[in-house]
């Protein structure tokens, strides 16, 4: 897994350049938000079960056909698998948040997820919506903890949703 620093250095190393002003500014921005990113991960960790439960409830309120007979979350096993996947997205989004880089999402989530969802016939629309709901719930938790800048939460969740929505799976 690469973070913002290793990705930046790799880019400059490949081109054989020294770190320039843009690179240094990028590093400064990464370090300036470091405490907030770690705090966000701490909030996610401390409230993960509640976040997943809230996101699942909101998703099933919005798309109730998922839990009706024939729906993709119908039966206890499928319902549990849906919540497990929500937890999975949340956990990896928190890793990407701390790393300040979305590479972990490509490496650990998106590649295998596409293949799995293809084989299982999982509908992508509700999956993307569940990721958006997770983001909303995390931002609410972050705001209720007293943080005014909840924008840093967006990147990993939006990346997951965008990558899944733009792919033909």
Write out pLDDT tens, residues 27-69: 999 999 999 999 999 999 999 999 999 999 999 999 999 999 9
Provide the token pair at 118: 């293809």
Domains and CATH numbers, the chain: 1-32 (no CATH), 34-166 (1.10.490.20)
Q: What is the pTM of this model?
A: 0.89
Count Cβ atoms below 10 Å from residue 18 Cβ, excluding itself: 6
pLDDT score of 160 more than 90: yes
Distances (CA, A) of 121 to 38, 45, 116, 127: 36, 30, 8, 12
The tokens for 34 are 């470091």
Closest by Cα among 100, 114, 83 to 40: 100
Q: Which tokens is 169 given?
A: 């799976």
44 with 75: CB under 8 angstroms? no
Task: Please give the span between the terminal C-alpha atoms of the chain, in angstroms, as a whole number.
Answer: 25
Per-residue pLDDT, 167: 55
């Amino acid at each position: 897994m690469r973070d913002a620093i290793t990705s930046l250095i790799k880019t400059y190393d490949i081109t054989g350049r020294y770190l320039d002003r843009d690179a240094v500014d990028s590093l400064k921005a990464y370090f300036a938000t470091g405490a907030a990113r770690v705090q966000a991960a701490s909030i996610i960790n401390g409230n993960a079960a509640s976040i997943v439960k809230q996101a699942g409830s909101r998703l099933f309120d919005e798309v109730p056909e998922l839990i009706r007979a024939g729906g993709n979350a119908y039966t206890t096993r499928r319902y549990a698998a849906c919540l497990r996947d929500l937890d999975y997205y949340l956990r990896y989004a928190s890793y990407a948040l701390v790393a300040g880089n979305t590479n972990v999402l490509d490496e650990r989530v998106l590649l295998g997820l596409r293949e799995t969802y293809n084989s299982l016939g999982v509908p992508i629309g509700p999956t993307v919506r569940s990721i958006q709901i997770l983001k909303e719930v995390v931002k609410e938790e972050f705001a209720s903890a007293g943080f005014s800048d909840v924008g840093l939460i967006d990147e990993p969740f939006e990346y997951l949703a965008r990558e899944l929505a733009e792919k033909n799976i």
